[in-house]
Structure 1
Amino acid sequence: MPTASRSNGPEREIPSCPSTSLRPICGHCDGFPTVTITIGQTTLSGQRKTITANCPACHGTGHTAPARAHTRIGA
């Protein structure tokens, strides 16, 4: 793994991909768990009225729980 050092500090490891999660992305929302939908009406100030909807499968997290071991092996 590559390392980086500051001019006056100790060496530290650079993570290879810090945004990678160990939990799989939800197959229902593809990792986009919350959306804002305009309902076609406007407020008195001219802004659009919106509602927020969360993915029912992952409950707005964007990830699913990993499969259990006996499910993965087909038992």
Structure 2
Amino acid sequence: QELLSRTTLETQKLDLMAEISTLKLKLTAVEKDRGDFEERYKDTEGLVQEMNELRLRVVEMENERTQYEKKLKSTKVRIQPVPH
């Protein structure tokens, strides 16, 4: 009876050790996937930031263009020849 109990316990111990190994492998795979995801997300975050900066720059350039167009218009009005 004792030998049977020891054999059963030893078998359960080996099964648990095998399960632990399997879980460690799964954990390693999940951690790698997580690292890959974070790396990809970080790159995406940088691109989003760059896009926002470029959008802001475009708005600034459009405002500058509008200012120059207004100045050009007012300059044209001032240098129009006086009709005789």
TM-score, scaled relative to structure 1: 0.23
Rg (Cα) greater in structure: 2
Q: Flag the structure with higher helix content.
A: 2
Higher RCO, Cα 8 Å, sep 6+: 1
TM-score, scaled relative to structure 2: 0.21
